Amino acid sequence: MREVPRTHRRFRAVYPNVGAAYEQLGQATQEWGPLDKKTRELVKLGIAVGDKHEGAVHSHTRRALDAGAAPDEIRHAVLLSLTTIGFPNMIAAMTWVEDVLDNEPDYDEEDSLSPPE
């Protein structure tokens, strides 16, 4: 499990009741339906991409990796946004994903944006 970002930890310290309520709501939405964890994280990544939210793209890329998504599955989720949000926005999101992948210990730069075989 990765460390919770400092800004989020500070928010929870200053607003403990709000932070707890937010965590409970998030947990309830995660547990409600039939989607497995990896699929849920890829969906959340897609939502973050569509919202053009760099921090959330970083977060959900890390969470998708932790849930077992392969780098190319994550890239595919971003690529699917192309016809909805446009090329410049998709490319921006792809660079945010690559920011995270570049910092992964097992990441091989040779695999960056590799076409399927």
List pLDDT tens digits, range 79-91: 999 999 999 999 9
Query: Quick one: pLDDT at residue 8?
Result: 86
Neighbours of 38 (CB within 10 A): 17
Regarding whether 79 and 52 lie in a shared domain, the answer is yes
What is the rounded distance in angstroms from the CA atom of residue 89 to the CA atom of residue 53? 11
Regarding whether 27 and 46 lie in a shared domain, the answer is no
- Reported as a single tens digit per residue, the pLDDT across 18-56 is 999 999 999 999 999 999 999 999 999 999 999 999 999
Regarding whether 53 and 3 lie in a shared domain, the answer is no
Regarding whether 73 and 43 lie in a shared domain, the answer is yes
- Reported as a single tens digit per residue, the pLDDT across 89-113 is 999 999 999 999 998 877 665 555 5
